[in-house]
Structures are given as C-alpha cells and as structure tokens.
Amino acid sequence: MIKKAVIFLGPPGAGKGTLSAVCEKEFNWKHLSTGNVCREHILNKTDLGQEIASLISQGKLVPDQIIMQMIEMWIVTHQYNLDGIIFDGTPRTVEQSVFVDKMLEVQFRNFETLIIKFEVDEDVLMNRIESRVVCGNKDCQRVYSTQSGNSLQSKQLMKCDVCNHDLVHRPDDSRETLKKRLDVYYQHEKDMLQYYKDQGRKILVVNAQDPVDQVFKNIKHISNC
Ligand code: AMP
C-alpha cells in the first residue's frame, strides 16, 4: 500500500478530528492536530500555553512561527514507521501550506500527498459546534456530540468511551467565537486554495454533512485506500 500524507482542509466543526480518528483506526495512520497540541500546552500551563490561550479563546489564529515549530516537532518525534499522516486543521494559512509542502518534500518524499476539502453549510456547523463536547484528557481529546440520536453521543453521559475522563465544552466553541473562527478560516482558505491551484494540485472534496461512516467511505474511495 502506498503511504499517504493527507491534508484535511475544512472549517471548525466540519468533522476533521472525528474522521482523523476513524482513519487512524482503520488505516493505521497518525494524526497531527495542531489544535490538540495547542490545547495540550494550555492544559499543561506551559509558557507557550499561557501565550496562546487568549488568542484561541478569541477565535484568532496562533502565529505561523509557533505553529510551524509545532509541526516540525511533531514530525521529528513521529516520522518513523508511519503508514500515513493526516494534517488535521493545519495548514491554515498560505505560509503554513508552503512550510508543510517543504516538510513533505524532505521527510515524506515517498508518500502520496492528498488534499481533502470538507464542505459543510454554516448552519450545520453552528449546530454541531454548539453540541460538541471533547474529552478533557489532553492525551485523548476525542470528540463527541450531546445531540440525541447523534452517532457521536458518548455511551455514558459526559464520560469518554475510550478513557472514561469527563467530557468538556471547549471554551472557543461558543456561537460568537465560532462566527469569528469561520470568518478567519474562510479568509485564509481562499488564499490556500489559490496557492494549491497555482501549484497545479488537485483538491478532493467530500460532503461532510453526510453521516460519519458515509464520509469515511467517500474518503476511502477518493484516496484509493
Ligand atoms: P482546532 O482544534 O483545529 O479547531 O484549533 C483550535 C484553535 O487553535 C484555532 O481556533 C486556532 O486558534 C489554533 N490553531 C490550531 N491550529 C492552528 C493553525 N494551524 N494555525 C493557527 N492557529 C491554529
């Protein structure tokens, strides 16, 4: 099987984290979420965590230099025995896209690179984010929904199915902050899509409003896995 480096592009609430977890399990890929790394720093109260906490709670982006260091550090520690790598929610700016491309060229030259864009209507994103809860264990951070009948509901109320830790609402998952995050996201997405187009890169698209298992099937199909 050809090794893959997959970039998941999509707004907050599009399901990138959820699908990353499914791909990790099904394909034995590893998943880099810079959002998770940022939250780890905040929970560990590192100097960096204190520096970025207020940016994140206001829905702003963390500076490129900090994110690029996180990506580099993650790759250095995880680059061995990888069948695939998913970039979840990163890159988020053109500068980060250029950086990730360079990293892929140097570290993952034998990997096939795919860019998958998750498309979801804004009202669906709002509903998802308002009912989203995550595992508060920094080493887990699995995503759940409190919406009844949703396949992402936890088995036990507000407890993680995997590690039994309490589930929490993310402080940046409020309606107001989401509006800001979406504005910031789409503003940069436009530039990133132009960058990839200029590079002659193909963008694969999935309808991320479908149920999780259907989105997974589509990802599997378009990425030839
Ligand atoms: P996420 O969990 O991907 O929604 O990220 C949560 C927050 O972390 C974002 O709203 C940003 O403030 C910050 N963040 C995560 N990844 C990046 C990135 N690649 N570039 C800039 N900021 C990021």
Ligand 1 center to residue 189 CA distance, Å? 13
How much is the pLDDT for 80?
A: 85
Q: Enumerate residues lining ligand 1, CB below 6 A.
A: 12, 33-35, 38, 55-56, 60-62, 67, 89-90, 92, 96, 172, 181
Mean pLDDT of the chain: 95
Mean pLDDT lowest among 55-64, 74-83, 127-136: 74-83
User: Which ligand 1 atom sits closest to the C-alpha of 91?
Assistant: 19
CA distances 105 to 38, 110, 143, 182, Å, are 25, 9, 31, 30
List the end-to-end C-alpha distance of the chain, in Å, as a whole number: 8
Mean pLDDT of 34-56: 95
How many angstroms does the Cα of residue 61 sit away from the middle of ligand 1?
Answer: 6
Report pLDDT digits (tens) over 95-119.
999 999 999 999 899 999 999 999 9
Distance (Å) from CA 58 to ligand 1 centroid? 11
pTM over 0.75: yes
Task: Please classify residue 210 by burial: count the beta carbons closer than 10 Å to its beta carbon, then call 0-12 exposed, 13-18 middle and 19+ buried.
Answer: middle
pLDDT, position 127: 94
Q: Is the pLDDT of residue 27 over 90?
A: yes
Spatial separation of the C-alpha atoms in residues 183 and 16, rounded to whole Å:
18
What's the confidence (pLDDT) of residue 81? Answer: 85
Q: Which of 5, 76, 89, 80 is nearest to 39 (CA)?
A: 89
Domains of the chain: 4-120+177-222 (3.40.50.300)
